A and B are shown apart, each in its own frame.
Chain A
Amino acid sequence: MNKIVKYIMLDILKSKVVIAYLVFLMVTGFSIFNLDENTSKGLISLLNIILFIVPLVCLIYATIYIFNSSEFIELLTAQPVSRKKLITSIYAGVVLSLTLAFLIGIGLPILLFTPDATGFIFLLAGILLTLIFTSLAFLGSIVTKDKAKGIGVAIFIWLFFTILYDGLLLLLMFQFGDYPIEKPLMILTTFNPVDLARILILIHTDYAALMGYTGALFNEFLGSQKGTITILLILLIWIIVPTMIAVRKFRKKDL
């Protein structure tokens, strides 16, 4: 298994897209921390960029990678390895490469400017988002048959979780503002990994008081530590479930 992972990483780490991603993250990180004296504020600005960019890059890159490698994946299935091992190795290869790019690109500025618990949580959230959206991309591209549809699905997933979902929640809040909707709202938030990552980071900054409705709820109901663990667990589910479904679908797929 490790061998397939190794060669896939060798391939991906040389790709221009991944290098550009790393450079973009690093340039953004350094320039934001340099612009603002207050690193905590800088972290929040960085957060807003990360929450858009990381899911987008993971979804689109992983989807295109799978479709471009379809003939190679076919050739690999003709070798004496199980499909399960093959797809998990490819997933590991893609995810490790993207995580490495993220860790170097964002980790370096964070290490230099805010090497504390909040910075660590920030990196953790970024890695979890990488894992989640790569597995969603795998699921999307295994279920769809052609590249155009696959990329369409990827873009829709991105739009849904970064923009549409929050809009729908907002609509719900305005519509049912007169009712006690805190709890249902909190539960609904757990269906969006991007929101979860945002809350995870925010409850660890000084801005916890200003962080908006759902975040405040999490803070109130769960307290900081309990909240962190709960969010981490839900994020783990967000990684495991799509990956498991993707593996199952791949084992039954006609290539």
Chain B
Amino acid sequence: MIETININKTFGKLRVLKDISIKLENNSSVALLGPNASGKTTFIKSVLGMVLPESGTIKVNNTDIKNDDSYRSQIGYMPQIGRYPENMNIGQVFEMIMDMRKEQMNHADTDLLDAFNMKSIFHKRMGTLSGGTRQKVSACLAFLFRPKIIILDEPTAGLDPLSSEILKEKVKTEKNNGKLIIITSHILSELDELVSEIIFFREGELMFHKKLEELQLQTGEKSVSKVITTILKNNNE
């Protein structure tokens, strides 16, 4: 469960997050949408403790994340751009992160590792990998520790169709396992079967946070992309 209460963040003069209050329950899958520079990534980073908001409270599973690090053991994060130390090989990257979260290793989730056939390329240097392969490494790491909360920032950008299908299947499985999943993506069509709620940001403000079904009723459309475009059109008129 994630709860943010009135969080504000400015970069210089720019207000990137304006009084954002959101409550996300377990067992839901949330799409975080909005144009570029609307504050999506900053919001995610605030939840992960990478960006420190000027004011407001963030609670993960009912504990305030300020001055706490252990809460992150319940989160799996896949960043938008995955870059790794050049001279490490894939195996070492996995070893390193596994070493850091050793106490969670007895029930590791290696589904994605197997599906992407990662073990066969464990010896490859990170510096020689393509963007897509690095993206796969990031994806495997996000799911590896069976976290209760999974945050995916543009997960399928750069992945080939087959791999992105594998990843989507994995997201669906975890969604049915009662996890809280947060996805940002600009490819709305791929969100159709994945999400149950939609959050829309614009210029650092929360425009709406609603269940997908509710939005579908409201607009009379079925697919996520149609729903969103209809809402945006109505708003502009």
Contact = CB atoms under 8 A, between A and B. Distances in A.
A20 to B, nearest CB: 14
B77 A78 contact: yes
Contacts, number: 79
B26 interface: no
A3 B99 contact: yes
Interface stretch (A69-77, A129-137, A168-176, A202-210): A69-77
B158 interface: no
A77 B100 contact: no
A81 interface: yes
Interface string B54-92: 000000000000000111110101010111111110001
Contacts of A76: 100
Nearest to A7: B96
Nearest to A69: B85
Nearest to A71: B83
Contact of B72 (A3, A71, A78): A78
Nearest to B87: A14
B52 A15 contact: no
B37 interface: no
Contacts of A83: 69
A83 B73 CA distance: 14
Contacts of B70: 80
Question: Most chain-A CB neighbours within 10 Å: which of B77, B81, B85?
Answer: B85
B132 interface: no
A82 interface: yes
B69 A12 contact: no
B95 A7 contact: yes
Nearest to B69: A82
Given A72-B85, A82-B69, A255-B45, A77 B96 contact: no
B51 A254 contact: yes
A71 B96 CA distance: 16
A36 interface: no
Interface residues of A, number: 27
A218 B226 CA distance: 78
A182 B96 CA distance: 53
Contacts of A77: 48-50
Nearest to A3: B99
Given A4-B96, A11-B88, A74 B49 contact: no
Interface in A72-122: 72, 74-83
Contacts of A255: 45, 50-51
Contacts of A8: 85
B75 A78 contact: yes
A81 B69 contact: yes
A78 B77 CA distance: 7
Given A78-B72, A80-B73, A81-B69, A4 B100 contact: yes
Contacts of A82: 69
A3 B100 contact: yes
Contacts of A75: 77, 79, 82, 138, 141
A80 B101 contact: yes
Contacts of A11: 85-88, 92
A15 B87 contact: yes
Contact of A72 (B72, B77, B83, B92): B83
B97 interface: yes
Contacts of B51: 254-255
Nearest to A84: B69
Nearest to B53: A254
A79 B84 contact: no
Contacts of A4: 96, 100
Contacts of A72: 83-85
A254 B72 contact: no
14 contacts: A3-B96, A7-B88, A11-B86, A72-B84, A75-B138, A76-B100, A78-B49, A78-B50, A79-B101, A80-B70, A80-B71, A80-B73, A255-B45, A255-B50
A-B pairs with lowest CB-CB distance, top 8: A14-B87, A71-B83, A11-B85, A80-B73, A78-B77, A7-B96, A3-B99, A255-B50
